[in-house]
Amino acid sequence: LYHKHSIGSFAQQEVLSYFRENIKDVLPSLPYQDDCYLLRWLRGENGDRGRKVMDADNIENWKAPEVIEKYLSGGQCGYDRDGCPVWYEVIGPLDPKGLFFSASKQDLIKYKFRDCQRLLQECDKQSQKLGKKVEMVMMIFDCEGLSLKHLWKPAIEHPGFIFLSVLHSPICTDQTYGTEVYGAPKLFPVAYNLIKHFLSEDTRKKIVVLGANWKEVLQKYIDHEEIPVEFGGTRTDPDGNPKCESKINYGGDIPKKYYVRNQVTQKYEHSVVVNRGSSHQVEYEILFPGCVLRWQFMSDGSDVGFGVYLKTKIGERQRAGDMTEVHPTQRYNAHMVPEDGSLTCSTPGVYVLRFDNTYSYLHAKKVSYTVEVLLPDKKSEEQIEQLGEKINEVALNNA
């Protein structure tokens, strides 16, 4: 994980030499002429179009919407022992649905792009200050508080809103040398499995999940005076704030006064008419624990009941009273506001999503819905299990 950037293979050196020869006329006018700067330019060439779209040269003059400034978490605070900037992403307090309803995709992407620009500028400042090339960034992801709200489908599928968006930015990926994830709950493997396809293989290799000793691990790479008290160090803001909130934004629930829209236009995969006095059941087999059932639905004209059950007999339709209720049935005004939700399946078996219209003796209900089974990433799941075993072993030894 903690590898440093190097010029690389002989073939890469040949390409670099060829490139240097071809730009020798303009080389003196560049901010830097060293190999590291030229490699950064070469790697970022594919992102040149994105830089134009983002108007990168003028992005510091851009005024971000207030809701993003206040509630999009993260920030750069301190430096590691080699002088590299340290970036913190705080996931738990993040309000995905609130941000989605309050800000445009373009503004969210642009804000993260500006963060990346500033990190690169910080690397350049450190290079001048320390008299050596600094072009790496260490990233720390605080996943404590990661929950089902962070798996809200529109946010996960939003290309500018994935909570690892900083990692896969074309301008930042090559400058990230280490990514620490701590406080990872059992839900983390599912969340990671959803977003890992957006990350390059090189970026995936830089991600390490830390256990209960994460504070000690951080101090191996960052001096305790550079780490906020909140993360196990001794650094505070000038006013004594242990979270260093002048440097790191911790997000939070977004007041609805910022909302610019109340719902997302959704295309549903299935549609069914639930007759009066009856119900409609949809079955999904879960083969192993840790999977997440995620659903979205809307009704036409009136409310509809919805609940989730675990079958007690396989191969036959069961009445609701004969199954184990795992998500209580309620009546939802899904004709007014589309409903979405999810459930972490702790037990393998056949789960039944039941649309209930037994209470209506007059009207049939048309229901449109989409249901997905989200699988955990096995590698990260094994990492978390191993960390749990180590913690239990330490506890037993100290007993």
Contact 235, 222 (CB under 8 A): no
Stronger pLDDT, 210 or 381, i.e. the higher one:
210
User: Which of 1.10.3720.10, 3.20.20.140, 3.40.525.10, 2.60.120.10 would CATH assign to domain 10-258?
Assistant: 3.40.525.10
Mean pLDDT, residues 138-161:
74
Q: Which residues contact residue 321 at a Cβ distance below 8 angstroms, ignoring those fewer than 6 apart?
A: none
Mean pLDDT, residues 225-246:
97
Domain boundaries 270-374, corresponding CATH code: 2.60.120.680
Token pair in block for residue 195: 């977003």
CA distance 251 to 94: 5
Domain ranges of the chain: 10-258, 270-374
- pLDDT of 335 reads 86
- pLDDT of 183 reads 54
Residue 384 per-residue DSSP state: H
Q: Is the pLDDT of residue 270 over 80?
A: yes
First-to-final CA distance of the chain: 33
Residue (of 341, 338, 346, 337) closest to 329 by Cα position: 341
Q: Is the pLDDT of residue 390 over 60?
A: no
- Give the amino acid at 289: P
The residue whose two tokens read 């999904």 is 284
Is 171 exposed, middle or buried, given 0-12, 13-18 or 19+ CB atoms closer than 10 A? buried
Q: Is the pLDDT of residue 354 over 80?
A: yes
Same fold, 10-258 and 270-374: no
SS3 label, residue 231? helix
Q: What is the pTM of this model?
A: 0.64
Alpha helices of 226-346 — where are they, by DSSP H?
Answer: none
Residue 249 per-residue DSSP state: B
pLDDT band at residue 212 using 50, 70 and 90 as cut-offs: confident
- Give the amino acid at 103: A
- pLDDT of 262 reads 66
CA distance 250 to 94: 8
pLDDT > 90: what percent of the chain? 39
**Strand positions, DSSP E, 44-126:** 75-79, 85-90
Contact 157, 117 (CB under 8 A): no
Q: Is the pLDDT of residue 22 over 80?
A: no
Contact 109, 267 (CB under 8 A): no
Rg (CA), the chain: 25
Mean pLDDT, residues 354-375:
93
pLDDT > 70: what percent of the chain? 68
Token pair in block for residue 96: 């995905």
Is the dihedral angle over the CA atoms 318, 332, 336, 372 positive or is it negative?
Answer: negative
Contact 153, 338 (CB under 8 A): no
SS3 label, residue 327? strand
Stronger pLDDT, 74 or 391, i.e. the higher one:
74
Contact 175, 123 (CB under 8 A): yes
Stronger pLDDT, 44 or 93, i.e. the higher one:
93
Stronger pLDDT, 203 or 260, i.e. the higher one:
260
Rounded to 10 deg, the angle between the 10-22 and 35-43 helix axes is 90
Residue (of 299, 272, 275) closest to 363 by Cα position: 275
